[in-house]
Amino acid sequence: MEELEEEISLLGQLVDIEIGRREKRPLCSRCRRPRGVCWCEGLGGAMVTIKSHILVLQHPHEEKRCLRTAPILTACLDPSHYKLMRGKRFPHSRYPELQPILSSPATILMYPGEEAVGVERLPKVGEGGQGPYNIVILDGTWQQAKGIYFNCPGLHSLPQVCLSGRYTSEYIIRTQPTQDALSTVETAALTLAILEENWALYDQLVEPLRVLCRHQIQHGAVPHKSKEEMILSGRCQKPLGKRTYKKLRKCGARHSDALAASMLVTGDAPRPDNTTNTHAITSKGVGVDGIENIRLVVSASEGSGGGGLGSGEEESIVGDVGF
């Protein structure tokens, strides 16, 4: 009996043992990153001035990613020109402020549709009476962004636009599916620079991303090549399965012969699809009171493609919905 009481007494003393807990690193009050790897040094002294507007429709899971790029837009852009909304479906009952945006004739969707028109072909801001654009980005992985699109009927009737040029991502600490897949902030920066004919905007918005990558590399991260580039250069020794092959094709990998040669064929070879290039499905919520001349851009988490205006001819798209 005495032995039992002694054992109980010893067990009770375990409660008083101090367990060493690792203190969390202090966070930057602006970017919420640890101060040692804060990217705020890449921010200018003032907000980036843009004529257009950005609306990010973000998948809830994207918020949990520690290296997401949407916060860079939040830090760089004035709230009157930038809004972020978080959700999976965005029903009208919960997001009534989206209705005037989606019904505006100025609203377009940058999404990998078969009839996508390159953003480079759209009239520039101020050209022929063209007003400012609004760029809406679907922020998440490709599957998450596709889910948002199919679960939001209001997006289906929008003209679709894509980044049709060959752009190389500076987000080198993440493995992109294809050579021209872009992060959320890069998609927004490129689209703004093209439509407003101001390439200084690109550097202003992407500089914090460069700082982020530089800090990560200094702390042991390794620059990553895209999955497509590794396959084509022969550095990817592992044979591709059919599922990976199809994903690369859907994300815009153009070298189907090389991809097929790297694939482990266990049956009939998959038929190549005609899916267009994906630049950013970020792609990297806050309510929106309304938007003037909305442009919708999908970014790949970081790739984009989209459907088009039909004829492919340039036309002025002017709307009167405002933030």
Structural domain spans, the chain: 48-222+272-298
For position 253, what pLDDT does the model report? 58
Those residues with Cβ within 8 angstroms of residue 102's Cβ, 6 or more apart along the chain or in another chain: 154, 155, 157, 158, 294
Q: 303 with 251: CB under 8 angstroms?
A: yes
R_g over Cα of the chain: 23
Average confidence (pLDDT) per 10 residues, the chain, 323 residues? 71 63 77 87 90 91 87 94 92 88 79 82 90 85 89 87 84 74 90 94 96 88 74 66 64 55 44 38 34 42 39 42 57
For position 309, what pLDDT does the model report? 33
Give the strands of the sheet with 294-298, arranged side by side: 82-86, 53-58, 134-139, 294-298, 108-110
The 3-state DSSP class for residue 138 equals strand
For position 302, what pLDDT does the model report? 47
DSSP letters spanning 243-267: HHHHHHHHTT---HHHHHHHB--SS
**pTM for this predicted structure:** 0.71
Q: What kind and span of H or E run contains 53?
A: strand 53-58
For position 29, what pLDDT does the model report? 83
For position 150, what pLDDT does the model report? 93
